[in-house]
Amino acid sequence: MPVRRVNKPVRDTKSALLDAAVRLVARGDGISSMRAIAREAGVTEGAIYKHFSSKDALLEAATEQVVARMLDEKRPLLDRDGTVHDAIRAWVEITLASYDAEPDAFTYGLLARPKRVDGPIAPTEVFRSQGALFARLFERGVANGECRPLDPDLAVALFSGAMLSVPRAIHEGRLAGPAADYAEPVFDAAWRLLAAD
Amino acid sequence: MPVRRVNKPVRDTKSALLDAAVRLVARGDGISSMRAIAREAGVTEGAIYKHFSSKDALLEAATEQVVARMLDEKRPLLDRDGTVHDAIRAWVEITLASYDAEPDAFTYGLLARPKRVDGPIAPTEVFRSQGALFARLFERGVANGECRPLDPDLAVALFSGAMLSVPRAIHEGRLAGPAADYAEPVFDAAWRLLAAD
Amino acid sequence: MPVRRVNKPVRDTKSALLDAAVRLVARGDGISSMRAIAREAGVTEGAIYKHFSSKDALLEAATEQVVARMLDEKRPLLDRDGTVHDAIRAWVEITLASYDAEPDAFTYGLLARPKRVDGPIAPTEVFRSQGALFARLFERGVANGECRPLDPDLAVALFSGAMLSVPRAIHEGRLAGPAADYAEPVFDAAWRLLAAD
Amino acid sequence: MPVRRVNKPVRDTKSALLDAAVRLVARGDGISSMRAIAREAGVTEGAIYKHFSSKDALLEAATEQVVARMLDEKRPLLDRDGTVHDAIRAWVEITLASYDAEPDAFTYGLLARPKRVDGPIAPTEVFRSQGALFARLFERGVANGECRPLDPDLAVALFSGAMLSVPRAIHEGRLAGPAADYAEPVFDAAWRLLAAD
DNA sequence: TATGAATGAGGATTCATTCAT
DNA sequence: GATGAATGAATCCTCATTCAT
């Protein structure tokens, strides 16, 4: 009979489930089934409900985790001294390296669009929160004359669209990885978009 | 017994189904059910199988239809005379206007990622075919000195990412439409990405 | 492979399901499972949903059917001429004979209490509708001096309680059937309850 | 780790569970889940199994408890001197007062029919044991000429049916409580059923 | 062509019960 | 005694697909 750890390692199972969900949603397309998530995490379907009250709750928790990690990577960029130019260069580098390091979480958070009938769950949140952060950086750039005075929402959209297109293209097989190899041209492109003339 | 119109044109039902599928996939999230598609098209579930051998076949046909329409809009741009600069400007304008005109088809073709477990169906195809077309345009630009010598795959990715970010942002509620309003700044941005210095 | 009649006998399957539900709820205790009902009706679980949108809907329809039948038996008693005394005698006779004829429907309608968490479904309705009918009969008896002036709600309760106690006792094995054998003493008892002195 | 009161009296948990079961079965409809019972009793699911070997055992014990209490209320009526008339009046009064005092236990014991697929658990027992007691009282009445010579099983059925119809009607909202208010007319009706002419 | 009842597998979720701690 | 994570079967319901009519 299979060895089954009992009762102790709560965290283990819980985060095994979160990771399994992220992995499956990222690799598959759309929403993964509870059965699949359970199997991927090495537990029974029913066990999930000791940790999450529903599928939505599980996916929400997974999103929250991914959002938090991704924001933590970026937040320091806002607080440090130096030019906006350098901060944005770092932003691009971190983003592309992040895809290489955890392609599943990245895909789950920024590329996939797994929603439910009754309301969006996932990645829009990641996008939104990252976008808000970037908007502040960009506006600082506008204020100090480094960037040109674009509508911030548009600037976020254009910048994100251009930068994410690289991991997206790698994810879809249109470009060869690793993503970090593109840091230089991607930053160059991004800066053309944003820089004051 | 239900009244049945004699000589009902087959095309009607078939394309009603295609349109229904496009609409539902674009508006909903992920794959729509056969029941829903049938209802949306005004026929019964079983009837679908007179026109398509399976759900995958239906979705594939829907994709093909969308791809064809979108390519038809763009193809003339390649064949005409004039600068690449002007062609790309037209490309951006057509693209954004196309979103405004048929947001469902656009979303189905370029923004959503509805795949099946057993193999991709939809939008990658649209993307791929448009990308190939654009690559040729871009390479002409490189050849005649209008564009800078970027890796074409990367150029396609960056250009598409930036340009599609606007309809995507509108679709997700992060930007207010119509998309055509952004034609000028989007082309400006795109050209900064691609133009020779 | 098993012979499976298809598509034609709609009514058959639908009422087979209603009957199966009545039978199982009456014989079992509390609510029967969809699996059991389907099996009892000789179809697959999924097939139920071609006829009823949910378990609640199925049970509601079953109740409605039972209610209708039971009321149809009693309604004529109100419209005919003659004494209330004789009408109530007939009421008792019909009721007890009805148990013998269709013990399952009777049990489903008047003895069992299968409810759902989110709202009563079944037999309270039968009781209520029969009670309302009987109350009118009784009030006529009060008006013409045959019955004593009890609170009608109380009269309904006492009369029903006494009369139904016999099928209930038979159902629970505390009394030997058939119920019709008790018509005389039950009517005698009921009339003692209700008659003017 | 959770604070654990030393020397916690076992009885506490055990009877908390019994009470919880009675309450939930009486208020809900049909059988309550172990989870719900545990929560209602303020313990965890697993803890139940320290006190009862299974759900059936728990429900059986709950029934036994209810039966015992109800019989204890009635037994003195048999042993005392005086007329059967007065004893039956007291029986009715006690019964109705008992509903007002503990509607959940009363409902669990006499009104609900929560059984399991594999065998009856609950209220039939209460009914049976009370019935047997009442039958002895009634037979004494027959013997001493106070009551008319009905079949004792039928007499029990009619009497119980009439008397319990009042709490049942209150429980189902067809009559306004408290039940004790109906003691006089209910006894009057009961005595009409049972008394010698 | 079209219908819609039927299937059988699979969807999320709840259940009673077990057991290492 | 008590905990609560884990199990596996069962809950109601939806799915894509088939086929007699």
pLDDT-wise least confident of A176-190, C106-120, D147-161: C106-120
* B147 contacts B84 by C-beta, under 8 angstroms: yes
| Residue nearest the C1' of E2 (CA based) | B47
How does the average pLDDT of chain D come out, rounded?
A: 87
**Pairing mode, strands C119-120 and C115-116:** antiparallel
Query: In b/e form, how buried is each residue of C108-125, taking b as 16+ CB within 10 angstroms?
Result: bbbbbbbbeeeeebbbeb
Q: Which residues of D touch C163 (CB under 8 A)?
A: 161
- DSSP for D128-190, please give it: HHHHHHHHHHHHHHHHTTSB----HHHHHHHHHHHHHHHHHHHHTTSS-S-GGGGHHHHHHHH
Q: Which residues of B touch A112 (CB under 8 A)?
A: 113
Nearest to D185 among C115, C154, C164 (CB): C154
Q: Answer yes or no: do C168 and D157 touch at CB < 8 A.
A: yes
Angle (deg, nearest 10), helices B183-194 and B152-171: 160
- Give the rounded distance of the alpha carbon of C36 from its chain centre: 22
Which amino acid is present at A143?
A: A
Q: Answer yes or no: do C186 and D116 touch at CB < 8 A.
A: no
Q: What is the token pair recorded at C32?
A: 């029967």
Say yes or no to pLDDT of B119 above 50: no
Question: pLDDT tens, B71-97?
Answer: 899 999 988 889 999 999 999 999 999
Does any strand E atom come closer than 7 Å to the Cβ of C116? no
Nearest to A29 among B113, B153, B156 (CB): B113
C159 vs B12, more confident? C159
Question: Residue D109's pLDDT is what?
Answer: 84
Question: pLDDT tens, D126-140?
Answer: 677 889 999 999 999
Residues 122-181 of D with CB under 7 A from strand E: none
Question: Residue A55's pLDDT is what?
Answer: 93
pLDDT-wise least confident of B181-185, C160-164, D101-105, D168-172: D168-172
Determine the distance in angstroms separating the CA of D69 from the nearest CA of chain C, rounded to an integer: 22
Say yes or no to pLDDT of A139 above 50: yes
Q: What is the token pair recorded at D102?
A: 């503990």
Q: Answer yes or no: do A153 and B175 touch at CB < 8 A.
A: yes
Question: Residue D129's pLDDT is what?
Answer: 82
Does any strand E atom come closer than 7 Å to the Cβ of A154? no
pTM of the model as a whole? 0.86
Domain range summary for chain C, segments of one domain joined by +: 10-194
- Cβ of C143: how many Cβ atoms within 10 Å? 11
Residues of B in CB contact (< 8 Å) with A are 28-31, 112-117, 120, 124, 127-128, 131, 150-151, 153-154, 156-158, 160-166, 168-169, 172, 174-175, 182, 185-186, 189, 192-193
Closest listed residue to residue D124, CA positions, set C29, C24, C181, C23: C29
Q: Which chains have 3 or more CB–CB distances shorter than 8 Å to chain D?
A: C
Question: Residue B7's pLDDT is what?
Answer: 53
Q: Residue D118: which pLDDT band, with cuts at 50, 70 and 90?
A: very low
Q: Residue D170: which pLDDT band, with cuts at 50, 70 and 90?
A: very high
| Residue nearest the C1' of E18 (CA based) | D46
Question: Residue B125's pLDDT is what?
Answer: 66
Q: Residue B120: which pLDDT band, with cuts at 50, 70 and 90?
A: very low
Q: How far is the CA of A85 from the C1' of E20 (A)?
A: 57
Dist. CA C59–CA A96, nearest whole Å: 58
Which nucleotide is the nearest neighbour of D45, by CA and C1'?
F4
Question: pLDDT tens, B42-69?
Answer: 999 999 999 999 998 999 899 889 888 8
- Cβ of B165: how many Cβ atoms within 10 Å? 26
Dist. CA A184–CA B67, nearest whole Å: 33
Question: Residue A114's pLDDT is what?
Answer: 44
Dist. CA C103–CA C84, nearest whole Å: 27
* A159 contacts A134 by C-beta, under 8 angstroms: yes
Q: Answer yes or no: do B114 and A30 touch at CB < 8 A.
A: yes
pLDDT mean over D99-105? 95
Q: How many beta-carbon pairs below 8 A join chains C and D? A: 105
Say yes or no to pLDDT of D11 above 80: no
pLDDT mean over A77-104? 94
pLDDT mean over D174-184? 93
| Residue nearest the C1' of F6 (CA based) | A47
Question: Residue D1's pLDDT is what?
Answer: 42
Say yes or no to pLDDT of D119 above 50: no
Question: Residue B113's pLDDT is what?
Answer: 59
Q: Which chains have 3 or more CB–CB distances shorter than 8 Å to chain B?
A: A
How many CA atoms within 13 Å lie on the side-chain side of A171? 25
Q: Answer yes or no: do C162 and D164 touch at CB < 8 A.
A: no
CATH code linked to domain B10-194: 1.10.357.10
Question: Residue B10's pLDDT is what?
Answer: 59
Residues 10-29 of C with CB under 7 A from strand E: 10, 12-13
Q: What is the token pair recorded at D133?
A: 């007691």
Torsion region of B7: left, alpha or beta (phi above 0 gives left; psi -120 to 50 gives alpha): left
Q: How far is the CA of A155 from the C1' of E9 (A)?
A: 48
Tens digit of pLDDT at every position of chain C (197 positions): 334 444 555 669 999 999 999 999 888 777 889 999 999 999 999 999 999 999 999 998 998 899 889 999 999 998 888 999 999 999 999 999 999 999 999 988 888 754 432 333 345 666 778 899 999 999 999 999 999 999 999 999 999 999 999 999 998 888 997 999 999 999 999 999 999 98
Q: Answer yes or no: do A30 and B115 touch at CB < 8 A.
A: yes
Q: Which residues of A touch B128 (CB under 8 A)?
A: 174
Say yes or no to pLDDT of A1 above 50: no
Q: What is the token pair recorded at A42?
A: 């090495």
Q: Residue A120: which pLDDT band, with cuts at 50, 70 and 90?
A: very low
Which CATH number applies to A63-194: 1.10.357.10, 3.40.50.720, 1.20.58.480, 3.40.50.1860?
Answer: 1.10.357.10
How does the average pLDDT of chain A come out, rounded?
A: 87
Question: Residue C43's pLDDT is what?
Answer: 95
Question: pLDDT tens, D59-99?
Answer: 989 988 988 898 999 999 988 889 999 999 999 999 999 99
- Chain E bases closer than 7 A to any CB of the protein: 1-21
Say yes or no to pLDDT of D122 above 50: no
| Residue nearest the C1' of E4 (CA based) | C7
Q: How far is the CA of B187 from the C1' of E14 (A)?
A: 56
Q: Answer yes or no: do A114 and B29 touch at CB < 8 A.
A: yes
Nearest to A164 among B29, B153, B161 (CB): B161
List the single residue in B with minimal CA-CA distance to A171.
Answer: B124
Q: What is the token pair recorded at C36?
A: 């059991």
Question: Residue D117's pLDDT is what?
Answer: 29
- Identify any residues that bridge with B147 across adjacent strands, giving them in sequence order: B195
Closest listed residue to residue D151, CA positions, set B63, A47, A113, C175: C175
Dist. CA D177–CA D161, nearest whole Å: 18
- Identify any residues that bridge with C195 across adjacent strands, giving them in sequence order: C147
Say yes or no to pLDDT of D114 above 50: no
Angle (deg, nearest 10), helices D124-143 and D84-101: 160
